[in-house]
Amino acid sequence: MLVPPADILLVDDNPTNLDVLARVLRSQSHRVRTVTSGALALEAMRRQPPEVVLLDVAMPDLDGYQTCARIQEDPHLAKVPVLFISAMDGPLDKVKAFESGGRDYVTKPFAPEEVLARVEHHVNLGRLQKHLEQQNQSLLDANLKLKEIHVLKANFTAMLVHDLRSPLTSVGLTLDLLRSGQAPKPGMIDQAVDSFQRVQGLLDEMLDLHRSEHGQMPLRSDSINPVTWLQGFADQFSVRAQAEGILFQTHWPETLAPITGDRSKLDRVLHNLLSNALKFTPRGGAVKLEAAMEFGAGVEAGLRFLRIAVIDTGRGIPAEQLPFVFDPFRQSEPGDAHRGFGLGLAIVQRLVAAHHGQIRAQSQPGFGSSFTVRVPC
């Protein structure tokens, strides 16, 4: 017996024949629909394609051969197997049936066991073909994704080499002056330190990405008071925002339930989101940090979550880029003054996931973006 039962369409202008054949098929729990003409068969198939059609030959208006030919002409129906079932048992009758696109031919009177065996055989073949097509499509999609990742990594490597050359050159020039006993020009040492820290930060991000993708990112279990934790970031970033002419706002209740997680890694999450918000918000804009407790629903019923949102009035993210904002190795267009290496948000997403949380991005170009993190308490 087929599991699940098949969806079968019977086509015969004789109601008695339909009733007998339907009872045979329903005895095996198959779902059976019946129609009395070729035109009605085509209409029924277009509404809901069956897994197999049992088709009589001798019918008025459209006979079985013509009906089968019409089925083959419709690209949405051509893959549905048609089994002819007829009292016409001459060799030419069967040849004509196969030439019109039929897959099989059963003569009347029929043995119920034969009909069931042939029907189930063609249904199984159809299901196997559909499964293979789905598997093939999955492989094609995976191959395209791998090619895309390869291109992204190649572009990332080229950009990395280009962008590292400048800070390393700065460090090298400063070291050359010191080694020769000359005094560096004012600001050169600070510039070299900044360049070194930039390179070090990038290498740390690449290492973290590698660890997260290979399940090698250990987490501490720190008890964190969200109010004091958030306030610390508010104090730090409000100074930066003021210096850049950006309004910095905060909003959360006086008390929030403590969370457990790796403090240093959650620090990186919030630091990255707030830094991005300031980076992409112009002077005169605003950045808001807000938090609240949420209670789960459905499968999360009984659970509590800390929801943190970073909202800005910056330039926003183009709609076509938003679905890929957490993918590694994606960055802004070349020449963009705010171009990054495409690792920060990818690492943020993985750090949040490591804490059994979720992160969501929303954006409207020209009006700003919001990133919402949700972690369990």
pLDDT classification of 344: cutoffs 50, 70, 90: confident
* Averaged pLDDT, 265-281: 93
Burial of residue 269 (CB within 10 Å: 0-12, 13-18, 19+) is: buried
Question: So what's the pLDDT on residue 24?
Answer: 95
What is the three-state SS of the chain? Answer: CCCCCCEEEEECCCHHHHHHHHHHHHCCCCEEEEECCHHHHHHHHHHCCCCEEEECCCCCCCCHHHHHHHHHHCCCCCCCCEEEEECCCCHHHHHHHHHCCCCEEEECCCCHHHHHHHHHHHHHHHHHHHHHHHHHHHHHHHHHHHHHHHHHHHHHHHHHHHHHHHHHHHHHHHHHHHHCCCCCCCCHHHHHHHHHHHHHHHHHHHHHHHHHHCCCCCCCCEEECHHHHHHHHHHHHHHHHHHCCCEEEEECCCCCCCEEECHHHHHHHHHHHHHHHHHCCCCCCEEEEEEEEEECCHHHCCCEEEEEEEEECCCCCCCCCHHHCCCCCCCCCCCCCCCCCCCHHHHHHHHHHHCCCEEEEEEECCCEEEEEEEEEC
Give me the residues paired with residue 286 across strands.
247
Give 130 or 344, the one with higher predicted confidence: 130
pLDDT at 334 over 70: no
Token readout for 339 is 């171009």
The residues, any chain, with a CB within 8 Å of residue 134's CB and separated by 6 or more, are: none
Architecture label for domain 7-110: 3-Layer(aba) Sandwich (3.40)
* Averaged pLDDT, 68-81: 96
Name the average pLDDT for the chain: 88
Fold of 222-376: Heat Shock Protein 90 (3.30.565)
Question: So what's the pLDDT on residue 45?
Answer: 97
pLDDT at 340 over 50: no
pLDDT at 122 over 60: yes
pLDDT classification of 166: cutoffs 50, 70, 90: low
**What residue ranges do the domains of the chain occupy?**
7-110, 148-213, 222-376
Highest mean pLDDT among 96-100, 262-266, 342-346, 349-353: 96-100
Question: So what's the pLDDT on residue 128?
Answer: 94
Question: So what's the pLDDT on residue 341?
Answer: 41
CATH code for the domain defined by 148-213: 1.10.287
Whole-structure pTM value = 0.53
pLDDT classification of 150: cutoffs 50, 70, 90: confident
pLDDT at 336 over 60: no
Question: So what's the pLDDT on residue 4?
Answer: 87
Pairing of strands 7-11, 31-35: parallel
